[in-house]
Chains A and B, each alone.
Chain A
Amino acid sequence: MTTVASVPRTTSAVELQNVSRWYGNVVAVNDISMTLQPGVTGLLGPNGAGKTTVLHMMAGFLSPSRGTVTVDGAPTWRNPGIYRKLGLVAEREAVHGFLTAREFVTACAKMQKLPNPKAAADRAIGLVEMTDAQDRRIETFSKGMRQRTRVAAALVHEPQVLLLDEPFNGMDPRQRMHMMDLLHKLGDEGHTILFSSHILEEVEQLSGLVQVIVAGRLAASGDYRKIRRLMTNRPHVFAVQSSDDRRLAVALIGEKSVSGVEIEAGGLTVRASDYGSFTRALPRIALAEGIRLRRLLPSDESLESVFSYLLEA
C-alpha cells in the first residue's frame, strides 16, 4: 500500500483498525486500516471493490468481521449515540416521499433532539438551496432534488463526520457544482467528509486526499499527486517545451534519471525514472545548453493515471 502523510493529525474522527469483512467464503474488505482527517476525502475504487461495505461499517450498518471501526473513539456498531456526530447519505435514494422536504428535514431534526428543530431544518434546507421547493412532497422531486433533500437531512444536526455514498448521482452540472462547493466549505470548516465515487473527475475536483480500495484492500491513501510520486517503479511522464526541443532531447537522453524522450510536434515527452533527480537536472541541463524552458508539465499526475496504475499493480 502507498501512504502519504498529509495534513497534520488533529482529531481522529473516523478510524478503522485492521478491519476485515467477509460474507461466508467471500472476503469483501481485507485488513484495512485508515484514519480520516478533517477535510474532504474521496473513497475511490472500481465497482465491487468494497467501498460501500467500508462506508456501511463506518456508518454502523455492518459489523466488521474483524478489527474495529470507531468515530471519536466510540465503536460504530450497535451504538446509536454516534449519530449525534455522524451523518450519512446512503446510495439508495429512498426517502419518505409522502412528506414534504421541510417535514422530512424537520422530522430528522426532531429525532436528533435538537433544541430548535424548525430553525435547524430551515438552515439545512437553505444550505442545499431547496428553500423554494421545501413545501412540495418529496415524491414529486427529481432525482437531484431528492438527493439534496437527503443531504439536508444528513446535515441538519451539523455532524462532525459526514459520509456520502455516490453523492452526485442524478445531479445536473449546476447542482453538482453547488454540492461540491458545499462539501468544500464543510471540509474547510473542519468537518470530516468522506464521499465514495467511481467517477474520477468528481474526486479530482473535490479532493486531493483519496483512499483507494481495490479488491477489498486499501491500495493507497493520501494525496494522489504525492502517491504518484512514490510510484518509483513507473517512469514519470513530463511534457516539455523549450526554445530548442531537439537539442534538449539529445542532452536529456544522457541524463541518468531520464529513461526515454519522444520528440513530438508540440514539444517533448520525457519519461523520467526518478521524479526528484529529473526535476533538479532539467534546469541545470537547460542552463548548460543555453536552452530556454517554456513549459514543464507532469502529464501523468492526474487521478486517472494514479488510479489506473494502482489497478494494474
Chain B
Amino acid sequence: MSTVAYITMRGLFGRRRALLLLPLPLLLVGLALICRAYDVDPQQWGQAVVLGLGLAVVLPVIALIVGTGVLGSEVDDGTIVHILTKPLPRRDIILAKLLVAAGVSAVASAVPLFLAGLMADGVRFGLALSVAAAAGALAYSALFLLLSLVTRRPVLLGLVYILVWEGLLGRFVSGTRVLSIEQYVITIADKIAPTGMLDAKVSLTVALVMTTLFAIGGTLYAVNRLGSFSVAGETS
C-alpha cells in the first residue's frame, strides 16, 4: 500500500467521522431482519428497503462521507500540503485517495446490501446488489473526490446532487436520469438479477458507459485540479 493510501486510511479511521459509516448499514440490515423475522412478503418491503434506503441513501451517503473525507478534510485543515510538497505525480496521489475511498465505500455499502438482498430474494440478488454497489461506489467516489477540489463545500454540493438531482429531479424529469449514478446502479443490479423490485430506467449500455465516464472523467479532472492546487496565504 502506498504511503499516501496508508495516511489516508489512518486519517479516515482515526477520526470520529468514521463512526458515521455505521448507522446506515446497520439500519438497512436491521430493517431487512425485522421484515424477515415477522415473515413479511419481500415484495412488500424489498423495494422500499433495498431501493429506497439501500441504493438511494446508504450507498451515496457513505460514498459522500468517505469520498469527501479522504481529501476534502485534508484540504480543509491544510494537512494536504505535507503530501503535496513531495515529488509525487499528482495522478498517484489521486489514485491512492480514490482507491481508499472507493474500497471503503464499496465494502461499507456492498456488505449490508448483500445481506438485505439475500433476505429479500436470495444470494443472486444479494450478489447483484453488491456488484452494482461496488461500481456505484467507484463512480460516486470519483465525483465526490473531485468536488473536494472544486468547491470549499463538497459535502453540501454532494448532498444537493444526491437529494435534489438524483432524489427529486430523477423522479420527475426523465432526462436527468442519464446523469444519475443511482440509476446506473439500479440498472446494473437489475440486469444481473431481475427481480421486479428494481425498476431500471436507463439501458445497461448507458449505465456501464456513464459509470466508466464518471469514474475516469472525475479522476482525470481531479488530477488536473490537484496539479494546480493553490494555497491561499493567511497573511498575504
Chain A residues engaging chain B, CB cutoff 8 angstroms = 28, 47-56, 59, 61-63, 77-78, 80-84, 86-88, 90-96, 98-99, 104, 107-108, 110-113, 150, 153-154, 166
Contacts and interface: CB of A to CB of B under 8 A. Distances in A.
A80 B11 contact: no
Given A90-B78, A111-B88, A48 B235 contact: yes
A47 B235 contact: yes
Nearest to A103: B10
Nearest to A94: B78
B3 A81 contact: no
21 contacts: A49-B236, A51-B235, A52-B233, A53-B233, A56-B231, A61-B231, A62-B230, A62-B231, A77-B228, A80-B87, A80-B88, A82-B87, A84-B87, A90-B78, A90-B81, A96-B79, A98-B11, A99-B7, A108-B82, A111-B4, A111-B86
B14 interface: yes
A267 B10 CA distance: 67
B77, B85, B86: which has the most chain A beta carbons within 10 Å?
A: B85
Contacts of B191: none
A86 B87 CA distance: 10
Contacts of B81: 61, 88, 90, 92, 94
Nearest to A104: B82
B16 to A, nearest CB: 11
Q: Kindly state the interface size class of chain B when it binds its partner.
A: 20 to 34
A107 B228 CA distance: 23
Interface of B: 3-4, 6-7, 10-11, 14-15, 77-79, 81-90, 227-231, 233-236
Nearest to B3: A110
B235 A52 contact: yes
Nearest to B12: A98
Contacts of B79: 94-96
Contacts of A59: 85
A51, A63, A87, A91: which has the most chain B beta carbons within 10 Å?
A: A91
B114 to A, nearest CB: 31
Contacts of A96: 7, 10-11, 79, 82
Contacts of A98: 10-11, 14-15
A213 to B, nearest CB: 10
A90 B87 contact: no
A212 to B, nearest CB: 15
A77 B14 CA distance: 33
Contacts of A99: 7, 10
B15 to A, nearest CB: 7
Contact of A92 (B11, B78, B236): B78
A296 B84 CA distance: 52
B87 A81 contact: yes
B167 to A, nearest CB: 34
B233 A83 contact: no
Given A61-B81, A90-B231, A96-B82, 16 more contacts: A56-B233, A61-B231, A62-B231, A63-B228, A63-B230, A77-B228, A78-B227, A80-B88, A91-B235, A92-B81, A93-B78, A95-B82, A99-B10, A107-B3, A107-B6, A112-B87
A203 to B, nearest CB: 16
A166 to B, nearest CB: 8
B236 A53 contact: yes
Contacts of B229: 61
Contacts of A91: 233-235
A63 B232 CA distance: 11
Contacts of A80: 84, 86-90
Given A80-B86, A80-B90, A48 B236 contact: yes
Q: Which 8 A-B pairs have the closest CB atoms?
A: A52-B233, A98-B14, A94-B78, A53-B236, A52-B236, A111-B86, A92-B78, A61-B231
Given A107-B3, A111-B86, A153-B82, A51 B236 contact: yes
Contacts of A50: 236
Contacts of B6: 107
A226 B162 CA distance: 64
Contacts of A150: 82
Contact of A94 (B10, B15, B77, B236): B77
